[in-house]
Amino acid sequence: MEYTQLGRTGLKVGRIVLGTMNFGPRTDESDSHAIMDAALDAGINLFDTANVYGWGENKGRTEEIIGTWFAKGGERRDKVVLATKLFGHMGPDGPVWPNHDRLSALNIRRAVDASLKRLRTDHIDLYQFHHVDRRTPWDEIWQAVDVLIQQGKILYVGSSNHAGWHIAQANEAARRRGALGLVSEQCHYNLVERRAEMEVIPAAQAYGLGVIPWSPLGGGLLGGVLRKERDGTSASGRSAEALANTTVRDRIQSYEDLLDKHGLEPGEVALAWLLSRPGITGPIVGPRTADQLSSALRAVELRLSDDLLSALDDIFPGPGQAPEAFAW
């Protein structure tokens, strides 16, 4: 496994990040434990989760599964850089009781203690804001974070789904307090969805944040969806909705045709493309099975030629340069 620095921290993390969203809802506890063991054996050390994973009435279940895995010992916890997230409320779906969601100091305090209990650990290495909270001032958020760091409950803080200006606003507020601020950003980024190149990734690079793309296969679009369709497996969910758009379908067909000529697997190329992009720490993969994890690991060893990268740009053109590039 290749390793890289997580932003401007001293943390060394693997170029593939283990996402755990499927643990509980789609992968049972035993298989989830087996996948985590296989990931650790392969050198993957950054495990990403969130307090709401498990969803619905089972919110928190994914953290619990990770916690029972840590409890098996074998230095599992010591070898893992543990990342979790907060924002959404943890009660039943429906109206939210005040101060039980978002990023108020009160909810941050409640959420971190609850996650620590489920995860069966005394600290979280990377505590991430799952979404932007437009109601809570950054000074309040950083004050709460300062306390948690002093207590030893968290080490670093990251963001998820933040715009470029949110990253700037957050880190300028932290700078005024003499704090480290955000060290990473999880953003929606893949060959199909490249808008993060406009401002999110440049902002992250300017402030020294590691970038951790989520949905690297575009909700399944980049995983050989049309090939599977020909084999009798219909697309579902977001993939099916996207493929109803003729332009999207044509691009995915061109993508798969291109990779067929090179004898390459679509999902592995999609991950390898992300690993080739500047500023990227590593994409989050959410394997439901050990085979899916093995496929993701092969992407780390895959080197894409300049000609292939150019052809991919032709199929999935990026958004172009950031607006600042057009200044006189």
pLDDT digits (tens, 9 = 90+) for 58-102: 999 999 999 999 999 999 999 999 999 999 999 988 889 999 999
Q: Concatenate the DSSP letters of all residues of 249-289 into one string.
A: HHHHHHHHHHHHHHT--HHHHHHHHHHHSTTB---EE--SS
Contact 157, 108 (CB under 8 A): no
Count CA atoms closer than 13 A to 83's CA, side-chain side. Answer: 28
pLDDT at 25: 97
H helix or E strand, kind and range, residue 100: none
Contact 15, 275 (CB under 8 A): yes
pLDDT at 240: 86
Q: Which residue matches tokens 């993957």?
A: 44
| Residue 56 pLDDT grade (very low, low, confident, very high; cuts 50, 70, 90) | very high
Local structure of residue 47 (DSSP, 8 states)? E
3-class DSSP state for residue 300?
helix
In whole numbers, what is the pLDDT of the chain averaged over residues? 96
| Residue 323 pLDDT grade (very low, low, confident, very high; cuts 50, 70, 90) | confident
Write out pLDDT tens, residues 1-42. 999 999 999 999 999 999 999 999 999 999 999 999 999 999
Mean pLDDT across 170-195: 98
Q: For residue 221, which phi and psi values (nearest 5 degrees)?
A: -60, -35
3-class DSSP state for residue 305?
coil
Per-residue three-class SS string for 198-233: CCHHHHHHHCCCEEEEECCCHHHCCCCHHHHHHCCC
Q: Does the pLDDT at position 236 exceed 90? A: no
Q: Does the pLDDT at position 175 exceed 70? A: yes
pLDDT at 232: 78
Q: Does the pLDDT at position 325 exceed 70? A: yes
3-class DSSP state for residue 189?
coil
pLDDT at 327: 67
Percent of the chain topping pLDDT 90: 91
Residue type for 85, please?
Answer: K
Write out pLDDT tens, residues 124-134. 999 999 999 99
- How do strand 210-214 and strand 182-188 relate by DSSP bridges? parallel
- Residues with active-site annotation: 53
3-class DSSP state for residue 298?
helix
Could you tell me which of 186, 99, 185, 187 has the C-alpha nearest to residue 144? Answer: 99
pLDDT at 254: 98
Mean pLDDT across 177-203: 97
pLDDT at 322: 78
Q: Does the pLDDT at position 233 exceed 90? A: no
Could you tell me which of 319, 21, 13 has the C-alpha nearest to residue 164? Answer: 319
Q: For residue 235, which phi and psi values (nearest 5 degrees)?
A: -70, 155
Contact 190, 299 (CB under 8 A): no
Percent of the chain topping pLDDT 70: 99
Write out pLDDT tens, residues 181-190. 999 999 999 9
Write out pLDDT tens, residues 201-213. 999 999 999 999 9
Could you tell me which of 120, 110, 123, 119 has the C-alpha nearest to residue 150? Answer: 123
| Residue 328 pLDDT grade (very low, low, confident, very high; cuts 50, 70, 90) | low
Q: Which residue matches tokens 């209990």?
A: 117
User: 85 Cβ partners below 8 Å, 6+ apart?
Assistant: 48, 49, 50, 51, 52, 127, 128, 129, 130, 160
Q: Does the pLDDT at position 326 exceed 90? A: no
Burial 123-162 (b: 16+ CB within 10 A, else e): bbbbbbbbbbbeebebebbbebbeebbeeebbbbbbbbbb
**What's the CATH number for 3-219+266-303?**
3.20.20.100
Q: How far apart are CA 9 and CA 313, in angstroms?
A: 32
